[in-house]
A and B are shown apart, each in its own frame.
Chain A
């Protein structure tokens, strides 16, 4: 990330108190939902009831808890909320807890946090992949579908992402530093997207 860019981003995160609605994001129902989510998650820890488990299960869990980074039987689930391309707020789940008919299960492979930025003539994809080596990252782009995966023994990630605009696959550039992967791809749709004009106002 260039310096100017990162400064802009850093400054962007502090929400201007003069923006009226205070620091609340004011996304209406969605953020009410988020408030509920936080409360629910806070309650979760209290609701843990080990009495439902039999001895065997408990022993298994204790064994699992002793495994260190590597075979992490840790469940992670989260949601990222941001202003997406065209001003549409995007709520994206990430993590390694998946739904099944038997209820949620913890998968070995985690879906990473991924952001896509529309930078005029390029799309910038930023993925958080902490704990992997650069050489273990595979990136494939085909028909506007970006596939990310890692094969590191310790942490494994996988993500499929539909890009918001067709891209020139051969222009892909990627860099990995400090656990963050950045991918740049040249867009092949209109140079200035309609959305960015719309953001500038009438």
Chain B
């Protein structure tokens, strides 16, 4: 029985086998676990660390990998840690995780915006650029390049359980 369960678990895992890309991700993961350790030791060395106003602020940095339109894998970043010349900074606004799907006549944009109210979400479409922002307890901002021109008047949106879906008809 136990073996059966194990097998099922195995099948739930999708091995994308993207060669070099995933080797790169392995390196990233090494770096992160490394950072977690260094972060701890840093503290014990300095005793404390104080960043004004960081009490409840959080830095988030992540990336998503998926097969993009046309079968090319795409790597997207999200989060609120930005690289600057002076090192990483934590911004107030977070870039959300966004996926874009080509559905024939429609473009579907799915964004993860947990923690905002629907009324706080602004969406603007100009040519093939969709600008998303959310203000409120959590702040998000993102510009998405759509795979084709769209008719902004056809936009339909839903927001449910932290997920925003935007549907747009492609322009003729």
A residues at B contact (CB < 8 Å): 1, 6, 8-16, 18-19, 22-45, 47-50, 52-53, 57-58, 61-62, 64-65, 68-69, 72-83, 87-95, 97-100, 102-109, 113, 115, 117, 128-133, 178-180, 198
Contact = CB atoms under 8 A, between A and B. Distances in A.
A179 B114 contact: yes
Interface of B: 12-29, 31-36, 38-40, 42-43, 46, 48-69, 71-75, 77-79, 81-84, 86-92, 97, 99, 101, 103, 108, 110, 112-117, 137, 139, 159, 161-163
Given A69-B110, A130-B114, A104 B25 contact: yes
Contact of B28 (A24, A49, A77, A108): A77
B163 A16 contact: no
24 contacts: A12-B54, A19-B51, A19-B52, A23-B90, A34-B59, A34-B61, A39-B83, A41-B28, A44-B21, A61-B67, A68-B108, A80-B58, A80-B60, A80-B61, A81-B39, A82-B59, A88-B43, A89-B43, A106-B65, A109-B12, A117-B56, A131-B162, A178-B117, A179-B162
Contact of A90 (B16, B39, B53, B75): B39
A94 B161 contact: no
Nearest to A73: B14
A106 B5 CA distance: 19
B59 A9 contact: no
Given A48-B72, A87-B43, A105-B16, A31 B87 contact: yes
